[in-house]
Amino acid sequence: MKEVILLKNGELALKGLNRRTFEDILVRNALWRLADLGRFRFVPSQSTIMAEPLDEDIDLDEAVDRLTRVFGFAGLSRAAAVEKDMNTILSMTGDYLAKELLAARTFKVNAKRSDKKFPFDSPQICMDLGEVLLESYPHLQVDVRNPELTVTVEIRDKYAFIHGNQIKGAGGMPVSSSGKAALLISGGIDSPVAGWMMAKRGLSLIAVHFASPPYTSPKAEIKVHNLLKKVAAYSGRITLFVVPFTEIQEQIKDNCPEELFTLIMRRMMMKIAEIIALRENCGALITGECVGQVASQTMQSLAVTNAAVDLPVFRPLIGMDKEDVVLLSRKIDTFDISIQPYEDCCTIFTPKHPRTRPKLEYVVKAENMLDIDLLITEAVNGMKIMNIH
Ligand code: ATP
Ligand code: MG
């Protein structure tokens, strides 16, 4: 028996004229994600895309699992594609969905007939199939309002599809349909979540990480690598730029007032990230900042940080509670990596009494004690680049 995966488009359906373009991007992203499992053909029709395996022995469970992490699909179902013949449907459904039917206590049949030439209408399919299933699985009861299992039969142009409950998709918009942005990633809980949220809105990502060896250990860098792998399971490939930051931090420490360390460091990060972002055709920066979390994230500090760059800075966590961010980081499986103890560069030169209401002029004046252009050029020249997927 032939099996396929039926994918329901999410917000795509709203896109009107651009729908074809969005669908093309979505299919390209999905194909890329499945490439090493075998060949697939994607056939769009209305708000569903059918993914049809073209090779024998493709691991469909793995394919379904990966597709639940492709943004742009609202839901998916693994389905049997059978001949459009009532007897075939009646005889095959009970076997195909045996596991689900045995586990459920209540069910209903849902029939969709988009091929109006099919000689049985939807109510007839529901009635006949319901009867057959009740005979084979006498423990079941019909519940049309709130069934544990909905058995769906879709009569389309080429096949009849049979499937059980739909699995929830990742939602959002296909990655790269909204352009590209640069994520500033530390090793903390927040920035991977911030990147994931923006990828969900259709942005493809590059990532910038500032490392300060020997103050920070190579393990901190591996941690960032592992975090990005988890994000890339949703966003697709991420190019990571690791920027050497030790010299800049030492210079700030030696030349600037202690109360401004964090802020000036943050501004330097933004300036360098902006240079990389522009080179890589990104339209925005992304950070994991949130109002009120720490001294460098008061409204005034954020304003001073923002003023370091011209590109828009997306801060998707800005109004979220930590608790909700943690929930998301558990959902995308970054939490356990984020809480590993390796120091990141921010924790090393933390001032005892940071400024919480800095004035921009004062910060800029202090910053001008540094040879900013030279420091930035050296940092950018020394960076390492790697691809993560
Ligand atoms: P996170 O959990 O993402 O580390 P945080 O709440 O600890 O965030 P900060 O340490 O103040 O906050 O950092 C704020 C933001 O600055 C981070 O979310 C990240 O976007 C960026 N950032 C901090 N440190 C680095 C770094 N070493 N490399 C790149 N970006 C960084
Ligand atoms: Mg941090």
Other CB atoms within a 10 A radius of the CB of residue 105 amount to: 11
CB of 294 shorter than 6 A to ligand 1: yes
pLDDT band at 354 (very low <50, low <70, confident <90, very high): confident
Sign of the CA dihedral 307, 313, 317, 322? negative
- Find, among 370, 182, 343, the residue nearest to 261 by Cα: 370
In this predicted structure, which of 72-76, 291-295, 318-322 has the lowest mean pLDDT?
Answer: 291-295
Per-residue pLDDT at 341: 87
Mutation probe of ligand 1 site: the residue of 191, 245, 266 with most atoms within 8 A of C-beta: 191
Q: Is the pLDDT of residue 351 over 90?
A: no
CB of 188 shorter than 6 A to ligand 1: yes
Residue 170 in tokens: 């990742």
**Does pTM surpass 0.85?**
yes
pLDDT band at 294 (very low <50, low <70, confident <90, very high): confident
Ligand in nearest proximity to the CA of 224: 1
Query: Residue 188 C-alpha to ligand 2 middle, in angstroms?
Result: 5
pLDDT band at 13 (very low <50, low <70, confident <90, very high): low
Per-residue pLDDT tens digits for 205-243: 999 999 999 999 999 999 999 999 999 999 999 999 999
In this predicted structure, which of 33-47, 92-106, 304-318 has the lowest mean pLDDT?
Answer: 33-47
pLDDT band at 255 (very low <50, low <70, confident <90, very high): very high
At residue 150, φ and ψ (nearest 5 deg) are -105, 120
Percent of the chain with pLDDT over 90: 86
What secondary structure letter does DSSP report for 112?
A: E
What is the per-residue DSSP string for 307-353? TT-SS-EE-TTTT--HHHHHHHHHHTT-HHHHTS----GGGTS--SS
CB of 295 shorter than 6 A to ligand 1: no
CB of 210 shorter than 6 A to ligand 1: yes
Per-residue pLDDT at 345: 67
CB of 289 shorter than 6 A to ligand 1: yes
179-184 and 2-9 as β-strands: parallel, antiparallel, unpaired?
A: unpaired
pLDDT band at 290 (very low <50, low <70, confident <90, very high): very high
| Nearest residue (CA) to ligand 1, atom 7 | 188
CB of 221 shorter than 6 A to ligand 1: no
Q: Is the pLDDT of residue 81 over 80?
A: yes
Residue 276 in tokens: 């990389």
| Radius of gyration (C-alpha) of the chain in whole angstroms | 26
Per-residue pLDDT tens digits for 311-334: 999 999 999 999 999 999 999 999
Place of tokens 């009494």: 353
Rounded-to-integer distance, Cα 291 and Cα 315, Å: 10
Q: Is the pLDDT of residue 14 over 60?
A: no
pLDDT band at 168 (very low <50, low <70, confident <90, very high): very high
Place of tokens 């909204």: 178
Q: Is the pLDDT of residue 17 over 60?
A: no
- Find, among 297, 279, 280, the residue nearest to 288 by Cα: 297
Average pLDDT (48-69) is: 95
Q: Is the pLDDT of residue 343 over 80?
A: no
H or E element that contains 8? strand 2-9
Q: Is the pLDDT of residue 15 over 70?
A: no
CB of 296 shorter than 6 A to ligand 1: yes
Per-residue pLDDT at 265: 96
Per-residue pLDDT at 320: 96
Query: Residue 346 C-alpha to ligand 2 middle, in angstroms?
Result: 7
At residue 377, φ and ψ (nearest 5 deg) are -60, -45
Query: Residue 187 C-alpha to ligand 2 middle, in angstroms?
Result: 6
pLDDT band at 348 (very low <50, low <70, confident <90, very high): low
Rounded-to-integer distance, Cα 221 and Cα 209, Å: 8
Query: Residue 188 C-alpha to ligand 1 middle, in angstroms?
Result: 7
CB of 344 shorter than 6 A to ligand 1: yes
Per-residue pLDDT at 288: 97
Query: Residue 186 C-alpha to ligand 2 middle, in angstroms?
Result: 6
Other CB atoms within a 10 A radius of the CB of residue 179 amount to: 12
Mutation probe of ligand 1 site: the residue of 183, 186, 224 with most atoms within 8 A of C-beta: 186
Other CB atoms within a 10 A radius of the CB of residue 43 amount to: 14
- Report which ligand 1 atom has the smallest distance to the Cα of 184: 30
CB of 293 shorter than 6 A to ligand 1: yes
Average pLDDT (53-82) is: 96
Q: Is the pLDDT of residue 364 over 60?
A: yes
Domains detected in the chain = 2-168 (3.30.2130.30), 179-388 (3.40.50.620)
Average pLDDT (280-307) is: 92
Rounded-to-integer distance, Cα 180 and Cα 234, Å: 15
Ligand in nearest proximity to the CA of 273: 1
Q: Is the pLDDT of residue 362 over 90?
A: yes
Query: Residue 220 C-alpha to ligand 1 middle, in angstroms?
Result: 13
Q: Where are the alpha helices (DSSP H) in the chain?
A: 19-34, 60-67, 86-96, 98-103, 122-136, 190-200, 218-235, 246-255, 261-279, 299-306, 322-331, 335-338, 360-367, 372-381
pLDDT band at 22 (very low <50, low <70, confident <90, very high): confident
**Mean pLDDT, rounded, of the chain:** 94
Per-residue pLDDT at 346: 61
Average pLDDT (342-370) is: 84
Average pLDDT (336-365) is: 84
Average pLDDT (259-281) is: 97
pLDDT band at 20 (very low <50, low <70, confident <90, very high): confident
- Find, among 347, 297, 303, the residue nearest to 319 by Cα: 297
CB of 314 shorter than 6 A to ligand 1: no
CB of 309 shorter than 6 A to ligand 1: no
